[in-house]
Amino acid sequence: MIPLPLTAPPGVVTADVLASDLGCFPTLEEYVPLVRSFKDDGFEMCVDLCAVDYLEHLDRPLPEGVSATRFEIVVNLLSLSKKQRVRIRVQAGNEEPRLDTLFDLYPGTEAMEREAFDLFGVLFSGHPDLTRILMPEDWEGHPLRKDYAVGKVPVQFKEAPGPR
Partner 1 sequence: MSDPTIRVAERVDLLAAETSEGAQGLQPRKKTTTDELGREVGAVLRQSGLTLDPNDVDFERRDDETMIINMGPAHPSTHGVLRLMLELDGEFVLRTKPVIGYLHTGMEKTGEVLSYVQGGTNVTRMDYVSPIANELGYSMAVEKLLGIEVPTRAIWIRMMMSELNRVASHLVWLATNGMDLGATSMMIYGFRERELILAFFEKTAGLRMNLNYVRPGGVAADLPDGWEDDVLVICDTIYERTFEYDELLTGQPIFRGRMIGVAPITAEEALALGVTGPLLRSTGVPWDLRRSMPYLAYNEVEFDVIVGTFGDNFDRYAIRLNEIRESLRIVRQCIEKMPSGDYRSQDPKVTPPPRARIDESMEALIHHFKLFTEGFQVPAGEVYSAIESPRGELGCYLVADGGPKPYRIHVRAPSFVNMQAVPLLMRGGSVSDAITVISSVDPIMGEVDR
Give the 3-state secondary structure of residue 126. coil
Per CB under 8 A, does 36 bind partner 1? no
Three-state secondary structure of 57-109: CCCCCCCCCCCCCCEEEEEEEEECCCCEEEEEEEEEECCCCEEECCCCCCHHH
Per CB under 8 A, does 112 bind partner 1? yes
Please identify, using beta-carbon distances, which residue of 15 and 80 lies nearer to partner 1.
80
- Minimum distance of partner 1 from residue 71's CB (angstroms): 11
Lay out the site mask for partner 1 across 120-159 (x = CB under 8 A, - = otherwise): --------xx-xxxxxxxx----xx-----x-------xx
Element (H, E) at 35: helix 28-40
Per CB under 8 A, the segment of 6-14, 18-26, 29-37, 92-100 that binds partner 1 is 18-26
Per CB under 8 A, does 32 bind partner 1? no
Lay out the site mask for partner 1 across 62-81 (x = CB under 8 A, - = otherwise): ------------x-x---x-
In order of 63, 65, 83, 118, 149, the CA distances from 73 in angstroms are: 16, 18, 23, 14, 22
Per CB under 8 A, does 100 bind partner 1? no
